Each structure stands twice: as C-alpha cells, then as structure tokens.
C-alpha cells in the first residue's frame, strides 16, 4: 500500500491480506504493551502474545503446518519486534493517503479473521473489493494455501496488465 503511494506508476493492482491499518491517531494498546514487554527483556512472551493475537490461542499447532514453524517464530522475536511491530506502530495510512490510491485493490480476509481494517479502508478508498474466505482466520496462508491462491488468481485475472 505504501508503494502504491510512493511510486504509483509501478503498482498495477494491490492484493492485501488483512493489512494493519489502525486508527492513525494511535496504534493499538496491545502492540505498545507487547513492544514494552519485548524491550523489558521478555521477548519470547511478547512474540507468543503477538502470535496468539494474530493467529489465535492455538497458534502453535497451526504454525506446525510449516516445518519448524513454532520454533522459527520464537527465533524471529527480534525481527518481529525491531521491524514488523515497529512498522505497524509507526506507519500512518489515513483517509488522505487512501484518497491517493487509484489502483484496484482486493482485500482478503478469513471469515474468522480480523477484518477490522476492511471497514476503515472501505471508508477511505472507493475501489476495494473484499474477498472473505469461509472458515479461515488471519492464518489463512497456513490453513488453506490453495484456496487463498485461487482467490488471488481470480482477482488478478480480472486485472489484466496494460
């Protein structure tokens, strides 16, 4: 989404999977709390909480669908909190930014996913197509990759490159 703002000439269309579009005035308290927990030296608990909020309380069996998934998540604690969470906290995408996005967008969410950003994006961007994948959560790429791939392929077929 940021690339669509920074270099719109190179972005043909956007596929977004539950992007972290929060209230521009303040990031969620949960992210700030996890960041503080990480900075206090309890990174493993912070990444466990992040994973639970992202994928649900049973995130470990779900992540196990990827070889070594749970262990890798725990090893990636620094990447998660020094990069990903920082970007989520500091990134500002608001109505003014949304008004500048002209590319077709498909917002993919699981029926049991977060989906909260969809409401905000639909307020800010006229041309957001929503695809809600039945039975899946935010972890849809681990839960049923073929269904997600088919969903994305169908959108991209409708967006021929010029």
Where in the chain are the domains? 1-23+92-162, 25-91
Q: Which pLDDT score, from 0 to 100, does residue 59 have? A: 87
For residue range 20-29, what is the model confidence (pLDDT) as tens digits? 888 767 778 8
Tokens of 100: 């500048």
Q: Which pLDDT score, from 0 to 100, does residue 162 have? A: 63
Q: What percent of the chain has pLDDT over 70?
A: 99
Tell whether the model's pLDDT for residue 91 goes beyond 90: no
Task: Note whether 51 and 39 are within 8 A (CB).
Answer: no
- 3-class SS shares of the chain: helix, strand, coil, % to 5: 55, 10, 35
Tell whether the model's pLDDT for residue 126 goes beyond 90: no
Q: Rounded to an integer, what distance in angstroms lies between the CA atom of residue 82 and that of residue 88?
A: 11
Q: What is the pTM of this model?
A: 0.81
Region 1-23+92-162: CATH code: 3.40.50.1820
Which residue, among 128, 80, 69, has the nearest Cα to 101 in the 3D structure? 128
Residues sharing a CB contact under 8 Å with residue 111, sequence separation 6 or more, in sequence order? 132, 133, 134, 135, 136
Which residue, among 22, 16, 14, 17, has the nearest Cα to 113 in the 3D structure? 17
Q: Rounded to an integer, what distance in angstroms lies between the CA atom of residue 60 and that of residue 78?
A: 19
For residue range 34-44, what is the model confidence (pLDDT) as tens digits? 999 999 999 99
């Amino acid at each position: 989404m940021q690339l669509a703002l920074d270099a719109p000439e190179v972005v043909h269309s956007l596929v977004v999977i539950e992007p972290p579009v929060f209230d521009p005035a303040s990031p969620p308290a949960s992210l700030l709390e996890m960041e503080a927990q990480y900075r206090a030296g309890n990174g493993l608990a912070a990444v466990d909480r992040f994973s639970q909020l992202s994928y649900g309380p049973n995130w470990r069996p779900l992540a196990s669908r990827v070889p070594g998934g749970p262990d890798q998540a725990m090893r990636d604690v620094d990447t998660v909190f020094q990069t990903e969470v920082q970007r989520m906290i500091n990134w500002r995408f608001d109505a003014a930014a949304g008004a500048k996005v002209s590319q077709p967008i498909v917002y993919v969410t699981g029926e049991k996913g977060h989906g909260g950003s969809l409401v905000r994006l639909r307020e800010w961007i006229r041309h957001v197509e929503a695809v809600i994948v039945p039975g899946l959560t935010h972890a849809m790429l681990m839960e049923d990759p073929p269904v997600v791939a088919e969903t994305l392929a169908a959108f991209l077929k409708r967006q021929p490159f010029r």
